[in-house]
Amino acid sequence: MKVRRNIIKIDEELCNGCGLCAKGCHEGALQIIDGKARLVSELYCDGLGACIGDCPMKAITIEEKEVEAYDEVAVMKRLVPQGPKVIEAHLNHLKSHGELNLYQQGIQYLKDNNIPVPDAAPSACPNPISISMPNPMPFPNTNSYQINWPVQLHLINPQAGVFNNADLLLAADCTAYAYAGFHAKLLKGKKLAIACPKLDSNKESYVNKLVQMIDDAKINSLTVVIMEVPCCGGLIRLVEMAMEKAIRKIPFEKIVVKIRN
């Protein structure tokens, strides 16, 4: 399946290795290796272009292209010519984000092609794939909860392993603040994505990401929670558009948080 995404492109001749782009990449997908900026993780490049504003040499551009769904073998083929340090950084990034299936695919590709396998280990990363924390509210029978990270739909990569065969809760931004039982009663047992149909831009990307979650990640179900206000209805429409485009059919539930009791 082909999807449209923003792709980071680095001009190595212009890059002076200053490292500002790596600091601007909150996903840790850009690293400075052998004096040059390298995209070590296509999977976690959000394509929003924060790194562009930090590059004084104008060595980074973003191109919107129609590309195949993420393929770890294809990525390894592109990374291997860049050297063992880039390979190791890529494998570290996968492993630290909990993408163990893709990590094993990368290792297998190296073994199959008689390429030395680096001693990859989890590395520090600003955005772990999941967080576990105590529940601050005394809801019965819920001592803790787990959520994926990031949760904003623009930042989420729909091909991240955390969404495989998951039950997805797509929530309007305001709902978690307006409904005290959000975590215990709505989020428990689900993976989370949030969006605002009124204030967010590029709604088409939301539709495409939801289609990928349905068809590629094969989520089991989709629950949408919105507020009882007109603008939230746009989120339902985006979901309906995605379900019309998707090949797979999955259960869909709508939950409306009332403004008044």
pLDDT per 10-residue tile (average), the chain, 261 residues = 76 93 81 92 76 88 77 90 91 82 90 86 42 46 63 88 94 93 92 91 88 94 92 91 95 89 51
Same domain as 150, residue 56: no
**Domain boundary residue, one of 59, 80, 112:** 112
CATH of the domain at 97: 3.30.70.20
Whether pTM exceeds 0.75: no
CA contacts within 13 A on the Cβ side of 216: 20
Same domain as 95, residue 67: yes
In a domain? residue 121: no
Q: Which of 39, 107, 49 is nearest to 79 (CA)?
A: 39
Same domain as 140, residue 38: no
Q: Are 40 and 72 within 8 A, CB to CB?
A: no
In a domain? residue 118: no
Specify the DSSP element, H or E, that contains 93. Answer: helix 84-96
pLDDT at residue number 169: 97
User: How many independent structural domains does the chain possess?
Assistant: 2
CATH of the domain at 207: 3.40.50
Residue type, position 94, single letter: L
Residue ranges making up the domain that contains 226: 130-257
In a domain? residue 120: no
Same domain as 76, residue 188: no
What is the DSSP code string of 169-221? Answer: EEEETTHHHH-TTIIIIIITTSEEEEE-TTT-S-HHHHHHHHHHHHHTS--SE
Same domain as 71, residue 31: yes
Number of other CB atoms surrounding residue 75 within 10 Å = 21
pLDDT at residue number 67: 67
DSSP annotation of 69: S
Backbone phi, psi, residue 31, to 5°: -140, 155
pLDDT at residue number 140: 46
pLDDT at residue number 205: 87
pLDDT at residue number 123: 42
